[in-house]
Structure 1
Amino acid sequence: MNPLLTIITPVFNSAKLLQSTIDSIKNQTYKNVEYIIVDGGSTDGTLDIINDNSQMVSVLISEKDSGMYDALSKGLKVAKGDFICYLNAGDILYPDAASKVVKFLSENKLDWVTGYISECNESNEITKIDLPFRYKTHLIQRGMYGKYLPYIQQESTFWSKKLIDTIDFDKLRSLRLAGDYYLWYCFSKESKLEILKTPLGAFKKHEGQLSEDLHRYWKEVGEFTEPSNLFNKFEVLLEGLYWLLDVRVREKLVSTNWRFDHAKHQWMKK
């Protein structure tokens, strides 16, 4: 039996963005997908788009909430999938993302994976793509990624259902900006984040996009992450130098990601 993948979209008044996200899920080559939309009581036509695509939506929750991570919590609590990810309105998955992730996590009995860091414009044209170097568990737990080192891209990150048990949902609902990093912090307590050398999802840059209040974001991150020490800061400096190297040089120095072996027809960490 094919494992079930759950995709969750928290949404509020995003009528101009939601259709492209739904289309990217509709175009997945892997079809055993549960799609959950959690709407915060939109008034701009978002619900019309959801209704027009009702054949794609497995679960719709539409009610007022206290923010995006309250909505995400509702979706995570009803998710039935063996594997899970979430996409905000406008963000997209590559057509074969679900197929690759389900196969990779199932065959290798792993719990958590991410792919290329990828961005697109309003026409869904890819404008940035970069292979991550590595994500060290103890540096995730100290809030180093995104602040001092490149971020973990939420749109390209998938995890097994068992990692949901690591989340304190009261804490997740209380967050306003840093809920993504809170998930990574929780998951890192249980499992190592693996990197798949392939594009999976893309973050959409669009006109009128609100820039995050970075001060508040990192203040929230500091509420749940562990304090860093002088050694951690020195380590971050060395890691930053690795990230600056050409991908081909990095791969020769340290093998950190999974690549597809065409001779063996499987993903392998070399």
Structure 2
Amino acid sequence: MPLLSIITVTYNAERFLERTIQSLLANQPGDEVEYLIIDGNSKDRTLDIVRNYETHVSHWISEPDRGLYDAMNKGQQLATGDFVWFLNAGDEMHDASTLFNLLNQLRNNPADVYYSDALFVDDTGKPLGLRSKITPHTLPHNLNWRDMAMGMKVCHQAFIARRTLSPPFLVDNLSADVDWEIRCLKTASKIVWLDFVLCKYLVGGLSVQQHRKSLTDRFKVLADHFGTATAVWNHVKIVARAVRFRFFG
């Protein structure tokens, strides 16, 4: 069995998929790593790109789905590695040493969850800055699930979980990744902060494209885990924090 399953979800991703695959190949994955591509029946050249790199893909499927999180559930179900890591089309490993450093941690510092910072990039690949520096989301080095009371503390692409404790995603909730991280953290016995950056995260995803629904869905997730009254109060604090960060940094 592989140690790590890397899962890429795609849909009409011809502009960005090759960027993700090339970052994997630059890290020279060996037998300890499997790579899965879960496609939602793309109509552009996405599948041509998959076929061009097919020898480097452990398994891929292309079929209609119910959206991003349905596809991510399919990826988890197909994965056989001890750990799962989601790098979707356009996301990349941070540099050519990332996988080497990560596998060393998985082998020698056993835990249930590993996390780090993420470098935000635009659609041209231009770096925009570390998430912990250019957003109000500071990154604690001793993370627990209660740190998520005000939302996504760790970028999903910088969060790796043991597959056996990784729950299914909520299919119809745009903040399903927040819920997934909280549930992983709740069941984890050991959580490890990595002192290197795991990924480059392509900004402008689904939650940005459907911002209002994403905020409503986030409230539902936080109310479910922390209670409605706490979620209401924390959303007041979230707004105040965002205003303070925007004007005072």
Q: TM-score band, normalised by the shorter chain?
A: 0.7 to 0.9
* Letter matched to residue 155 of structure 2: Q
> What percent of counterpart residues are identical?
25
Aligned position for 1:96: 97
2-structure distance, mates of 1:185, 1:206: 23
More helix by share: 2
* Letter matched to residue 145 of structure 1: G
Aligned position for 1:188: 185
* Letter matched to residue 179 of structure 2: Y
2-structure distance, mates of 1:196, 1:163: 20
2-structure distance, mates of 1:98, 1:224: 35
Correspondent of 1:175 among 172, 177, 185: 172
Maintained 8 Å contact 1:20/1:92: yes
2-structure distance, mates of 1:118, 1:193: 21
Runs of 5+ unmatched residues, structure 2: 133-138, 245-249
2-structure distance, mates of 1:85, 1:212: 25
Residues 101-250 of structure 1 aligned to structure 2 (within 5 Å): 101-129=102-130, 132-134=139-141, 135-140=143-148, 143-146=149-152, 151-164=153-166, 167=167, 169=168, 172-191=169-188, 192-205=190-203, 210=209, 212-213=211-212, 214-222=214-222, 224-227=224-227
Output the TM-score relative to the length of structure 2. Answer: 0.79
Number of matched residues?
Answer: 226
1-structure distance, mates of 2:222, 2:37: 30
Runs of 5+ unmatched residues, structure 1: 245-270
Aligned position for 1:261: none
Q: What are the superposed Cα offsets for residues 194-243 of structure 1, whole Å, 9 maximum, x if unpaired?
A: 3212111111136997253333332442464231667x969x97xx99xx
Aligned position for 1:255: none
RMSD after superposition: 3.0
Output the TM-score relative to the length of structure 1. Answer: 0.73
1-structure distance, mates of 2:97, 2:43: 33
> Which has more radius of gyration?
1
- Note closer, same or farther for the CA distance 1:87–1:145 as it changes in structure 2 (3 Å cut): same
Q: What are the superposed Cα offsets for residues 59-103 of structure 1, whole Å, 9 maximum, x if unpaired?
A: 111111111111111110110112210012111112222222221
